[in-house]
């Protein structure tokens, strides 16, 4: 069975690709290919950090964990619409689709306790495909057993 972190990332992609509003693209997982003009707008999700704190002291069997997902929204401007304005509907969708959600585990329970928005970092790409990139940190809180990344508590 995949790790809880992996299942959380996969479930977040499903959430982002369910009920997606018009003009907002489907979310890809961990894209590594360069972007071309025809690829924009785009959303890609990347697991970036998974941190753990032992519950109950040094001998506690449970980790309180947080996985940070970076959800990159990319768009180019056209005419009077600036690139950062074009990326805004994608950013709005990411926050609305994931904030406060409980992600189903497929067995009638949930993978996480909470999801909240962290920082958003904007960057402006000037290369062959000028566009704005908004990297939204999405923080997912969950618990797991110490020493077993597959086992929820």
Instruction: Check residue 121 and give its pLDDT.
Output: 96
Residues facing 101 on adjacent strands: none
- Count Cβ atoms within 10 A of the Cβ of residue 98 and give its class: 0-12 exposed, 13-18 middle, 19 or more buried: buried
Range 121-130 burial, b when 16+ CB lie within 10 A, else e: eeeeeeeeee
The torsion angle over the Cα atoms of residues 111, 73, 27 and 30, rounded to 10 degrees, is: -70
pLDDT along the chain (153 residues), means of 10: 94 97 96 90 96 84 94 91 93 97 92 96 86 96 90 82
Q: Give 5's Cβ-side CA count (13 Å radius).
A: 17
Q: Domain ranges for the chain, please list them.
A: 4-31+40-152
Question: What top-level class would CATH report for the domain 4-31+40-152?
Answer: alpha beta
Find all residues with CB under 8 Å of 151, minimum gap 6, and list them. 4, 144, 145
- The predicted model scores a pTM of 0.92
């Amino acid at each position: 069975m995949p790790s809880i972190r992996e299942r959380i990332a996969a479930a977040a992609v499903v959430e982002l690709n369910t009920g997606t509003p018009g003009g907002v693209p489907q979310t890809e997982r961990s894209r590594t290919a360069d972007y071309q003009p025809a690829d924009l707008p785009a959303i890609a999700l990347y697991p970036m950090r998974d941190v753990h704190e032992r519950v109950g002291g040094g001998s506690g069997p449970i980790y309180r964990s947080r996985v940070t997902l970076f959800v990159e929204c990319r768009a180019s401007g056209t005419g009077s619409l600036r690139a950062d304005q074009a990326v805004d509907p994608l950013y709005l969708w990411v926050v609305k689709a994931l904030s406060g959600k409980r992600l189903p585990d497929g067995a009638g329970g949930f993978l996480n306790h909470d999801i909240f928005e962290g920082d958003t970092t904007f960057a402006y790409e000037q290369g062959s495909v000028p566009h704005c990139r908004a990297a939204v940190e999405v923080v997912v809180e969950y618990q797991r057993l110490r020493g077993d990344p597959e086992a929820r508590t």
